[in-house]
Each structure stands twice: as C-alpha cells, then as structure tokens.
Amino acid sequence: MKQTTVAVLLACAAMGAQAQDRAWLDKSKSADERARAAVAAMTLDEKLLLIVSYTDKKDLAKQPDDIVPPAIKADVAAHHIEGSAGYVPGIARLGIPPQWQTDASIGVRVGGMERTALPSSLATAASFDPAVSEAGGRMIADEARASGFNTFLAGGANLAREPRNGRNFEYVGEDPLLAGRMAAGLINGIQARHVVSTMKHFAVNDHESQRTTVDVTISPEAMRQSDLLAFEFVDELSKPGSVMCSYNLVNGRWACENEYLLNKTLKQDWKFKGYVMADWGAVHSTADAANYGLDQFTGYPCCNHHGPFYSAKNFKEAMNKGEVSMRRLDDMAQRILWPLFQTGVFDDPAKPGKIDFAAHANVAQRAAEESMVLLKNEGNLLPLANVKSVAVIGGHADKGVLAGGGSSGVTPVGGNAVPNLEPTKWPGPVIYMPSAPLAALKAELPKAKVAYASGKDIDAAVALAKQSEVAVVFVTQWMGEGFDGKLELDGNQDALVAAVARANPKTIVVVESGGAILMPWLPQVPAVLEAFYPGIRGGQAIARILTGKVNPSGHLPISFPASNAQLAHAEIPGFGKPDGIPVHITYHEGAAIGYKWYDAKGYKPLFAFGHGLSYTNFAVAEPKANVANGALTVGAALRNTGKLAGKGVVQVYVAPADLKASGWEAPKRLVAFHKLDLQAGGANTFTQAVDPRLLATYEVADNSWRVRAGTYRVLFGQAADDLPMSVDVTLPDMVWSAVHKE
C-alpha cells in the first residue's frame, strides 16, 4: 500500500473514532444517548460548570476568587445578557452551548429592552383553548431566540388555591385539567421553536406572602389530586425540559431539597428526564439539595441575597467529603443536557436577529380577543351599536392597559404608557401597555363622540356620564410577585362605578385585574367585561369586543367569590409584613380548590368557574358518556342558536352519586372541555377520553390511583353552575400504579 493511502486511511479512522467519541454530535442518536455521550467526555470541572447558573454580576463580583474563579466571572461578565435572569457557561471544547435563561410566560424580560407582551397567563387560560397558548408560546420563543436566549423560565402552573395570591395572573387557573392543558400549550409552543422551557413553581407555592419562609402543610393525597396533578398533566402533555422548584417549604422541607416532590414524585413516579432548577435564591444547601433532587443551582445567594452562594467549589468539597457522589453529578449533568438535545437547542442555536413586532402583536391581540370574559350583559347592552356618545372613565384608559408586576413583567414595544406610578421599584415598575382603549374605541366608533374622564374626580366623571349615551368605566387591580393582594378594588374605584352607574343606567365596567375581585356595585351595572391583563394590544381587543367586531368567547378559569367570607383562609399568614418571617399554613381545604371548595361548602360564588357569555347563544345537545373496560369517554354537540357566529365552550364535569363513598374532595370535577367555532345556526360535536385520574383518588399507602365502583353522573353544560344535561354511568373498581411507564 502506498504511503499516502495509508495516511488517508489512518486519518479517516481517526475521524471515525472522533465522531464516535463525539457521539453527542450525531443527530441520528436519541437525546438520551447524546447527553450520555457528552457527559462521558466531560472532566469534573466541566460537569460542575453546568450545574450553576449565574445572575447578578454585583453578587458575583463580591464572591472571592476561590469561590468563583476569575475565568468564570469574566465569562459571565462577557456573555450574561444584561437584565436577564441567568447564564450558565458553555463548554466550547465539546461544543456545548451556554444556557441563556430569560423570564417568563408572557414574553421576554430583558431589562428595559422592548418586547411583545402576551395577555397574562390567567387571561390566556380563559380562552379554554390550548392552541391559543401554543401560538403565544411560539411567538415569545421566537423573540427569545432573536434576543439570544435558549431557555425560558415560563410555564407557571400553580393552582389558584388562594384567590388573593399576587401571582395568580402568572398561572392558569384553579382546575388541574384546565391548568395542565393550558400551561402545556404554552410550553409546547416554546419548545417547538427550539427553546427549553421550565414549568414552575414546583410546588404548592400558592401564595406570595412570606414566600421564602412559609411552610405549607398539605397531605400527599390532596397534593396529588390538586397542585401536583396539574403539574403531572403539564409534564405529560409538553415534556418541559426543566422544572423550577419553589421558594417555600412543603411539609417541613424546602421545595428545592424536597425528596418527596423532586426525587419521588417528579423523577421516580413521573419519570421526568429533564433538570430541576431552583427558583432564584431558593437553594438552602449543597449536598442535601443535590441528593434530594436539585440539578441546577441558580445564581444568587439564598434568602434575599443574605445567605451563602452555592458554588461549584462548595459542590466539589461536598464530593470530596463523600456527601455527594459522582453518579449524582453525572445524573445532574445528563439531565441538564438532555433538553438541549431533545428540544433542538443544540442543533439549532439561538441567534440574535430581527423581530417582526407587527406580526407578533397580532398574536397577542388574538390571544386577548379569545380570552376576555363577558361576565354580565343585561338587556344586551353590548355590543355597542349605533351609539352616539360614549363616556370612557378611569383606569388610565386614555393611555393603555395594565400588566402584572415582578419577574414576568415585560417592557412593551412602545414603552410604558403610564410611567412613574408607585411602586417604581421591585416588584414594579407598574407597567401599562401602550394600547389605549380610548383611542381604540374612537377608531371602532368613528361616528360617536367618545370623551374621557380620569375618574379621580368622581363628580367630573358623573357629569360626563350624564351627558353620554353609555358610560364605560375601567377598573384596575395591580398584582405582582412577592405580595398578595385584596379582592377589594383600591382607592375610589368602587365609589366611582357606583356613582357613574347611578348617573347613567347604561354603564359598562371593564375590569383589568390579576384575578378575582369583589363587585359591590354589580346589581347596579348592566354589563361587565373581565379583560384581565390583556397584553400589548389589549386596548384594541377591548374595543373590538365592546363594539362587536369580536364576539367574546372567554370563560372564567377561576371562580369569583361573592365575599371574603367564602374564602378557605380568612387570612394569609404574614400578609403585608416585610419578608422573612417564618410562618406556617395548613391547606386544610386539601384538593377542594376553587369551584370544588364552593361546591363542598354550598357557597354560591359571584361568578362561577367556567362562566362566560357571548353575543350569540349556544345549546349543548346529544350528551354522551360511555364506559368501556373502565375507561370513560364523553362527547356532546354544541349548537349556535343565535344570530351571530361565535365560539362556545362545552364543559363536562363528573359528580359521584355517593360523594362519601367516592372518596372525592368535592361534589364534582371538570373532566373535559372543548371550544367550538360555530356559524349562526351551526353545530358541531366532539368526543374526549377522560383521564382516569380525574375520577380517582390518590392512595398514599401503595402509591396508586383508585376509582371506587359506583354510579357517577356526567354533567354537560357551559359553566360549573350551568350544567343542564347529564348521563349516568357505572364505573367499576379500578386501581393502578401512580408510577408512569418509561
């Protein structure tokens, strides 16, 4: 053989061997295989690089060089995107990209950089259509990539157990099935665009007061049937690459070192393959955290920056002392790499680029138009047609629409429409999206005289309302991260609505709220539209709904209580006090959250879960419920019986004939829902398999789900309190393991 041929053969063999060694580059291999191959090629220090996320350069600069080596400080300083959540250095030698982590579920948050903001997640949940959240997920992921991020801290899915929770607007309602499907929609959209998404905050982080110190007591049965069931659905339906563990303690253990939550439930039972990252500052130890299930230490010191910094150096020391094994570190690295391969981040890296803001604003507007809930419309006051004059009052409706505060706050394209409102600092600034309902109403009603009064002066507002054919009063409730709110509106807003309604019987109230509010003026007001935080085109969406360009089709993802007396907890421990007080709460209501609580107590809420009116009418017909081998399938027809096209939502609940014998927490549970788009006079049908866990109780003794034999009534309708049709079925006894198959 000639020398050159030998050289070529040797070179080819070397390349082959290299390709084989670098098997993580091979796209034909599974994400598991690729992650495993990459971990096998890593040095100890490289593995350790993956498990720490860095955030705050100031905090980092304060760390001595032996804790965070200068090379890492320099890397973070050069590559962390200013104003974003976190940065995990890459491993250039192996082609492993850095992880650039950004908040949150309504859009990209990067300091003051202007980006497109979706409606709040609670608003989107009101669409009752996972395709709407998925479209939003794709849009915000495109902006994340164009801004240089490959990891989204999105997918908030805590249940709205506490109606005053400051972060309910970041979550997806009070029901596990609805929350599961809606959060999964968002994550599916994000990950389809090659961005890793979290689901968060795991778990039972259901109120904000003293969130970093509160110890929540709740039974495993109740957790599995409520908060954890929502997360279980999200995980199954969207396979998020990451789970963010929460600040609080659950049954005496920090959520980020909670063996029951992380190792047992998430990893062993649900077979979660991704990684657990801590909420920012939620780490309390090195070895315990790692051994009980945390995979990535996020980058600022715990306890509001007052605790130690959990560094790679600490971790190495813990390994040297035998407190954490190499096997655990390998597993952590494997879990962090897996979603990079699985979601396409590795093969299709994020690149900064141009954003089509106009197209993206349309996605946000469509989500808002699908989400607003028409709560009341006496005498068909809405839609406004041929109206000659409109008084627009309050809520900064001349400038924009409200958004929620905290880490999910997005600086909107066009800037904050009402700057300098208090608080201007964390969890502020209070942001108003630059989408003024006033201007939008003028555009939709070119022939009408549309005038504005701020509402600060009630007499002036009343005078304007008296001169106008209709009055539209905007009320707002600002909620945000790190605090809980009240159901009562702030300031003079209730008095304003009452005074305007007295002056003009054709008064419409538009509510921009984080969640539920009380409405002492409701009997005096003929029409109410719940707009939540409607995002960057919220003003246009409100105007189009009020004027009938869009037929409202949102349904409440949370119940609106009639009074504080109906709440499960009279007080939230530590409410309104500075953070850091160790407090305790027992979630005695267990899994009976929202409508389940009201049903169990026999309370009539102000507005029921699932409620939402339309400008047309729908009738549910042909209810069907079949049981085959213990599996329940339900279906129905929906007919548009009115004169306008519109979208209706069929909701299916199940109620055991013998509640006590069923073991359920409450008289009924939502088991299916489906949104249908129908022309006037049109009808359509749907069929859905019911997830058996929605008929079961969780049995802690043998980690199983169990359905108790008996008669169950399947109820069909359009809201939790509007279920006119039913079919009885008989379910057999069934028990199955709560452990998922691989």
Residues 653-692 vs ligand BGC: string with x where CB under 6 A?
Answer: ----------------------------------------
Q: Is residue 279 at the binding interface for ligand BGC, with CB under 6 A as the rule?
A: yes
- Phi, psi (deg, nearest 5) at residue 27: -70, -15
Crossing angle of helices 326-342 and 312-320, in 10° steps, is: 140
Closer to ligand BGC at the Cβ: 258 or 435?
258
For residue 151, the minimal CB distance to ligand BGC (Å) is 11
**377 in Cβ contact with 524 (< 8 Å):** no
DSSP 343: T
When computed from its CA atoms, the radius of gyration of the chain, rounded to whole angstroms, is 27
Closer to ligand BGC at the Cβ: 404 or 646?
404
Q: Is residue 470 at the binding interface for ligand BGC, with CB under 6 A as the rule?
A: no
For residue 83, the minimal CB distance to ligand BGC (Å) is 10
Helix (H) and strand (E) counts in the chain: 20, 28
Closer to ligand BGC at the Cβ: 257 or 279?
279
If 0-12 CB within 10 Å is exposed, 13-18 middle and 19+ buried, where does residue 481 land? buried
58: enclosing H helix or E strand: helix 57-62
The size of the interface with ligand BGC (CB under 6 A), counted in residues, is 8
Residues 61-90 vs ligand BGC: string with x where CB under 6 A?
Answer: ------------------------x-----
Q: What share of the chain is helix, strand, coil (3-state, %, to 5)?
A: 30, 20, 45
For residue 314, the minimal CB distance to ligand BGC (Å) is 21
For residue 208, the minimal CB distance to ligand BGC (Å) is 9
Q: Which residues contact 31 (CB under 8 A, 6 or more apart)?
A: 338, 339, 341, 342
For residues 428 and 544, give the distance between their C-alpha atoms in angstroms, rounded to a whole number.
29
For residue 134, the minimal CB distance to ligand BGC (Å) is 21
Closer to ligand BGC at the Cβ: 173 or 427?
427
Closer to ligand BGC at the Cβ: 85 or 178?
85
Closer to ligand BGC at the Cβ: 114 or 279?
279
Residues 298-337 vs ligand BGC: string with x where CB under 6 A?
Answer: ----------------------------------------
**702 in Cβ contact with 715 (< 8 Å):** no
- Within 118-177, the residues that bind ligand BGC by CB under 6 A are 153
Closer to ligand BGC at the Cβ: 194 or 200?
200
For residues 428 and 116, give the distance between their C-alpha atoms in angstroms, rounded to a whole number.
18
Closer to ligand BGC at the Cβ: 103 or 129?
103
Q: Which two tokens stand for residue 167?
A: 């972060």
For residue 56, the minimal CB distance to ligand BGC (Å) is 10
If 0-12 CB within 10 Å is exposed, 13-18 middle and 19+ buried, where does residue 38 land? buried
**457 in Cβ contact with 492 (< 8 Å):** no
For residue 283, the minimal CB distance to ligand BGC (Å) is 12
Closer to ligand BGC at the Cβ: 261 or 531?
261
Closer to ligand BGC at the Cβ: 404 or 656?
404
Closer to ligand BGC at the Cβ: 103 or 206?
103
**How far is residue 715 from each of residues 620, 655, 688, measured CA to CA in Å?**
11, 7, 14
What is the full DSSP assignment across 61-86?
Answer: HHS-TTTS-HHHHHHHHHHSPTTSSE
Among 169, 280, 560, 698, binds ligand BGC (CB under 6 A): 280
Residues 378-417 vs ligand BGC: string with x where CB under 6 A?
Answer: -----------------------------x----------
For residue 392, the minimal CB distance to ligand BGC (Å) is 35
Closer to ligand BGC at the Cβ: 407 or 476?
407
CB atoms closer than 10 angstroms to residue 500: 30
CB atoms closer than 10 angstroms to residue 727: 16
For residues 164 and 224, give the distance between their C-alpha atoms in angstroms, rounded to a whole number.
23
Closer to ligand BGC at the Cβ: 103 or 691?
103
For residue 124, the minimal CB distance to ligand BGC (Å) is 17
For residues 228 and 515, give the distance between their C-alpha atoms in angstroms, rounded to a whole number.
21
For residues 655 and 412, give the distance between their C-alpha atoms in angstroms, rounded to a whole number.
44
For residue 144, the minimal CB distance to ligand BGC (Å) is 13
For residue 341, the minimal CB distance to ligand BGC (Å) is 23
For residue 558, the minimal CB distance to ligand BGC (Å) is 20
For residue 526, the minimal CB distance to ligand BGC (Å) is 39
Among 46, 103, 227, 444, binds ligand BGC (CB under 6 A): 103
For residue 459, the minimal CB distance to ligand BGC (Å) is 43
- Within 195-224, the residues that bind ligand BGC by CB under 6 A are 200
For residue 292, the minimal CB distance to ligand BGC (Å) is 20
Give me the residue label for tokens 């984080």.
514
**372 in Cβ contact with 529 (< 8 Å):** yes
Closer to ligand BGC at the Cβ: 242 or 435?
242
Q: CA 251, 253, 254, 259 torsion: positive or negative?
A: negative
Measured between its terminal Cα atoms, the distance across the chain in Å is: 51
For residue 110, the minimal CB distance to ligand BGC (Å) is 11
For residue 226, the minimal CB distance to ligand BGC (Å) is 20
For residues 538 and 439, give the distance between their C-alpha atoms in angstroms, rounded to a whole number.
12
The amino acid that residue 171 corresponds to is Y
**How far is residue 532 from each of residues 104, 554, 619, measured CA to CA in Å?**
18, 11, 27
Q: Which two tokens stand for residue 513?
A: 């709220």
For residues 157 and 180, give the distance between their C-alpha atoms in angstroms, rounded to a whole number.
7
Closer to ligand BGC at the Cβ: 105 or 553?
105
Closer to ligand BGC at the Cβ: 134 or 279?
279
For residues 114 and 110, give the distance between their C-alpha atoms in angstroms, rounded to a whole number.
8
Cis peptide before 383 (omega within 30 of 0): yes
For residues 640 and 661, give the distance between their C-alpha atoms in angstroms, rounded to a whole number.
39
Closer to ligand BGC at the Cβ: 277 or 522?
277
Q: Is residue 99 at the binding interface for ligand BGC, with CB under 6 A as the rule?
A: no
Q: Which two tokens stand for residue 75?
A: 């890397």
H helix runs in 147-254, sequence order: 176-192, 220-225, 227-238
For residue 481, the minimal CB distance to ligand BGC (Å) is 6
38: closest CA among 52, 55, 26? 26
- For residue 638, how many C-alpha atoms fall within 13 Å in the half-sphere facing its CB? 26
Closer to ligand BGC at the Cβ: 153 or 464?
153
**106 in Cβ contact with 140 (< 8 Å):** yes
Residues at the interface with ligand BGC (CB under 6 A): 85, 103-104, 153, 200, 279-280, 407
